[in-house]
């Protein structure tokens, strides 16, 4: 699973960066046979149509004539960027200082995009461009907030909208929403950029196979927490994800303990509590010879502060259980996670 996910990640970042990914291996389509596919629910707009809408916006904008001329030249300069969305954004930036500020810094104020008085063409184009930039910076929450409500039918670049919206949903583990976005994107598989099609098929197969509350699911949530903390986000949303991870790990450990005790009881030799009923975990190389009551020790997680600081003996016991039941890279991922948490707790 680890190598497969790394492959998907490499192709994904190549796609969102706009660099054509060289993929020569066969990728099986995750959707139905082409003969049975539904008719596309969206179309790819022609450059001439986008130009017409852009110039209509310019003619009705309060920009000065020289600013409008600069905007038209920026649109026509396809040598600067062959990307249609980039050219629209360059034209908007030439005519509107607020757009220019966003091009200079994605952290510039964009609250004005929520103003109903803003022309829908410019508003939605800027939101799409900015949402794509957020995805390229791993800011999936911010990106989804901008992309979620955009209309594919009126988008300047609907393929980019569907792909980057799906990328946010995939990372944030919104499986149903991600599959829906990816299926819509693949309706035009022969017309969208190849990098989008190849990565979209891999993302769909990956998210469709992900089992909720599995160790893989937990590990991805841990990775999302790491991303949030690296970006300096330790607010309520991050703490909620942290609490969910701890709850899921506790359930998984309890389930493994229960399965182990059932196996020991079924074999007639099992004592889950260890020799003498002292509650000490049995060593892997010994055969249990006692008979335990089959009770699972409840763990006190404490409050939200220090939520990941399990006592050393309990943490070692949990890692030992996971190491016996799952591949080694899962244990390594969880060990690294606890180390990051401990380092964060010791930080001033």
Q: 165-191 pLDDT, tens per residue?
A: 999 999 999 999 999 999 999 999 999
Confidence at residue 57, expressed as pLDDT on a 0 to 100 scale: 95
Is residue 235 predicted with pLDDT exceeding 70?
A: yes
Is residue 85 predicted with pLDDT exceeding 70?
A: yes
Asked if residue 257 is part of any domain, the answer here is yes
Q: How far apart are CA 310 and CA 153, in angstroms?
A: 51
Asked if residue 1 is part of any domain, the answer here is no
Out of 209, 229, 251, pick the residue that ends a domain. 209
Q: How confident is the model at residue 99 (pLDDT cuts 50, 70, 90)?
A: very high
Q: For Cα atoms 80, 86, 92, give the angle at the middle one, nearest 5 degrees.
A: 105
Half-sphere exposure in the Cβ direction for 339 (13 Å, CA):
7
Instruction: Give yes or no: residues 122 and 267 share one domain.
Output: no
Show the domain range for 265: 215-346
| 46: helix, strand or coil | coil
Instruction: Give yes or no: residues 184 and 67 share one domain.
Output: yes
Q: How far apart are CA 311 and CA 244, in angstroms?
A: 19
Instruction: Give yes or no: residues 233 and 270 share one domain.
Output: yes
77 compared with 315, residue with greater pLDDT:
77
Q: How far apart are CA 348 and CA 346, in angstroms?
A: 7
Confidence at residue 28, expressed as pLDDT on a 0 to 100 scale: 41
Q: 218-234 pLDDT, tens per residue?
A: 999 999 999 999 999 88
Q: For Cα atoms 288, 292, 296, give the angle at the middle one, nearest 5 degrees.
A: 110
Asked if residue 2 is part of any domain, the answer here is no
Confidence at residue 20, expressed as pLDDT on a 0 to 100 scale: 41
Confidence at residue 272, expressed as pLDDT on a 0 to 100 scale: 46
Confidence at residue 267, expressed as pLDDT on a 0 to 100 scale: 61
Is residue 9 predicted with pLDDT exceeding 60?
A: no
Helices (H), the chain: 2-16, 47-60, 65-76, 84-95, 97-104, 120-136, 140-147, 158-171, 175-186, 194-209, 215-230, 236-266, 312-325, 328-346
Instruction: Give yes or no: residues 68 and 199 share one domain.
Output: yes
Q: What is the mean pLDDT of residues 108-123?
A: 94
Instruction: Give yes or no: residues 75 and 164 share one domain.
Output: yes
Instruction: Give yes or no: residues 52 and 192 share one domain.
Output: yes
Q: What is the mean pLDDT of residues 151-162?
A: 97
Whole-angstrom CA distances from 214 to 33, 48, 114, 220, 225 are 30, 49, 39, 10, 17
165 compared with 11, residue with greater pLDDT:
165
Is residue 261 predicted with pLDDT exceeding 90?
A: no
Q: What is the mean pLDDT of residues 50-64?
A: 94
8 compared with 70, residue with greater pLDDT:
70
Asked if residue 12 is part of any domain, the answer here is no
Q: How far apart are CA 46 and CA 50, in angstroms?
A: 7
Confidence at residue 234, expressed as pLDDT on a 0 to 100 scale: 87
Out of 168, 191, 209, pick the residue that ends a domain. 209
Q: For Cα atoms 64, 65, 66, give the angle at the middle one, nearest 5 degrees.
A: 95
Q: 129-148 pLDDT, tens per residue?
A: 999 999 999 999 999 999 99
Confidence at residue 284, expressed as pLDDT on a 0 to 100 scale: 56
Is residue 7 predicted with pLDDT exceeding 80?
A: no
Asked if residue 306 is part of any domain, the answer here is yes
Asked if residue 67 is part of any domain, the answer here is yes
CATH number at residue 82: 1.25.40
Q: How confident is the model at residue 54 (pLDDT cuts 50, 70, 90)?
A: very high
Asked if residue 8 is part of any domain, the answer here is no
Instruction: Give yes or no: residues 186 and 59 share one domain.
Output: yes
Instruction: Give yes or no: residues 202 and 61 share one domain.
Output: yes
Q: Are 29 and 203 in contact (CB under 8 A)?
A: no
């Amino acid at each position: 699973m680890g190598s497969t996910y790394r492959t998907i990640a490499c192709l994904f970042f190549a796609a969102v960066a706009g660099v054509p990914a060289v993929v020569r291996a066969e990728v099986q389509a995750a959707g139905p046979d082409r003969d049975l596919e539904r008719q596309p629910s969206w179309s790819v707009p022609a450059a001439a149509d986008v130009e017409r809408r852009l110039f209509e916006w310019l003619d009705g904008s309060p920009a000065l004539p020289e600013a409008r001329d600069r905007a038209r030249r920026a649109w026509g300069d396809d040598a600067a960027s062959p990307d249609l969305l980039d050219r629209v954004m360059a034209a908007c930036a030439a005519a509107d200082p607020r757009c220019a500020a966003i091009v200079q810094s994605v952290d510039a104020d964009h609250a004005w995009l929520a103003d109903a008085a803003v022309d829908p063409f410019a508003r939605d184009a800027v939101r799409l461009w900015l949402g794509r930039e957020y995805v390229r910076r791993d800011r999936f929450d911010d990106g989804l907030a901008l992309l979620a409500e955009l209309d594919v039918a009126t988008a300047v670049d609907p393929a980019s909208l569907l792909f980057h919206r799906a990328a946010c949903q995939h990372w944030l583990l919104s499986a149903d929403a991600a599959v829906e976005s990816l299926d819509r994107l693949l309706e035009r598989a022969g017309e969208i950029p190849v990098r989008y099609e190849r990565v979209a098929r891999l993302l769909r197969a990956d998210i469709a196979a992900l089992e909720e509350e599995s160790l893989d699911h937990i590990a991805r949530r841990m990775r999302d927490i790491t991303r949030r903390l690296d970006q300096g986000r330790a607010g309520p949303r991050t703490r909620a994800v942290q609490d969910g991870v701890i709850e899921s790990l506790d359930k998984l450990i309890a389930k493994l303990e229960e399965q182990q005790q059932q196996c020991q009881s079924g074999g007639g030799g099992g004592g889950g509590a260890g020799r003498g009923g002292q509650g000490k975990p049995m060593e892997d190389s010994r055969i249990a010879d006692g008979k335990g009551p089959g009770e699972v020790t409840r763990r006190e997680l404490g409050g939200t502060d220090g939520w990941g600081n399990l006592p050393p003996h309990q943490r070692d016991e949990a890692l030992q259980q996971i190491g016996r039941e799952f591949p080694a890279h899962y244990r390594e991922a969880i060990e690294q996670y606890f180390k990051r948490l401990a380092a964060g707790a010791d930080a001033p």
